[in-house]
Amino acid sequence: MQQNTNLTVHKAPEDFGVDDHRKYLLEQYKMFSSSLEFSIRTMDNMNKFFITIMAGFVAAIAFVTNDGTSQDLNAVFVQFGPILGLAISVIWFLINYSYKKVLAGRYAVLKDMEEFLPAAPFKRERIYRGACYLPFFTVVSFVPIVFSVAFGLMIFFIFRN
């Protein structure tokens, strides 16, 4: 019997029978692809949460600094608001980075499973997508980086004096 070097599919067709092997593999493929979809939806909801938090945070900073409220509240909020905003932005980026690793692993497993199925949609997608494709993580991670730079500049200009 030939040694299987694919770490994802570690049972040979002879262990199940060829027809049953393909049936079980297809069911596992469907289950794992739905798990991938769930992870993507969760990441999307998490990004919506952080966008909402950051928009509210920026609006609160603008409101407090332009409202004419007490000088003490204004000074505290202007000094510590950007630090908190920067911390939230860094946490947001790290969570997105973690999701990138999880999703990359799941895609890799699905691609390995595709070797034993009649069609290989993820492999074909890469071919059709072409070289001009901007990876999703690059786009998603750009937003917390922009917020981090903005809050970093605020911190620099506030504490420069």
Chain segment 87-125, per-residue pLDDT in tens: 999 999 999 999 999 988 888 888 888 887 777 787 777
For residues 124 and 24, what is the distance between their CA atoms, to the nearest angstrom? 23
The 10 Å Cβ neighbour count of residue 6 is: 10
Whole-structure pTM value = 0.76
For the segment 28-63, what is each residue's pLDDT rounded down to a tens digit?
A: 888 888 988 999 999 999 999 999 999 988 888 777
